[in-house]
Amino acid sequence: MTGSMAHPAVLILLGPPGAGKGTQARMLEEDFGLVQLSTGDLLRAAVAAGTDAGKRAKAVMEAGQLVSDEIVLAILKDRMAAPDVAKGVILDGFPRTAGQAAALDALLAANGQRVTAAISLEVDDEAMVGRVSGRYTCAGCGEGYHDEFKRPAKAGVCDKCGGEGMKRRADDNAETVRERLKAYHAQTAPLITYYEGKGLLQRIDAMGSIAGIRAALSDIVKGVAA
Ligand code: AMP
Q: What does the pLDDT look like over 173-218, one tens digit per residue?
A: 999 999 999 999 999 999 999 999 999 999 999 999 999 999 999 9
User: 127: CA distance to ligand 1 center in Å?
Assistant: 20
Kindly state if the Cβ of 60 falls inside 6 Å of ligand 1.
yes
Give pLDDT, residue 4: 42
For the CA of 94, the closest atom of ligand 1 is 19
Q: Is 8 in a helix, a strand, or coil? A: coil
Kindly state if the Cβ of 180 falls inside 6 Å of ligand 1.
yes
Distance CA 191, CA 185 (A): 10
For the CA of 97, the closest atom of ligand 1 is 20
Q: Is the preceding omega at residue 95 within 30 degrees of 0, hence cis? A: yes
User: 153: CA distance to ligand 1 center in Å?
Assistant: 30
Distance CA 18, CA 1 (A): 28
pLDDT tens digit string along 55-99? 999 999 999 999 999 999 999 999 999 999 999 999 999 999 999
pTM beyond 0.85: the answer is yes
Which residues, 6 or more positions from 85, have their beta carbon under 8 angstroms from its beta carbon? 8, 35, 37, 79
149 confidence band (pLDDT: 50, 70, 90): confident
Judge whether 17 and 184 are in contact, CB under 8 Å. Answer: yes
pLDDT tens digit string along 20-33? 999 999 999 999 99
Distance CA 15, CA 18 (A): 8
Task: Name the DSSP class of 150.
Answer: B
Task: Tell me the β-bridge partners of 138.
Answer: 166
pLDDT tens digit string along 40-51? 999 999 999 999
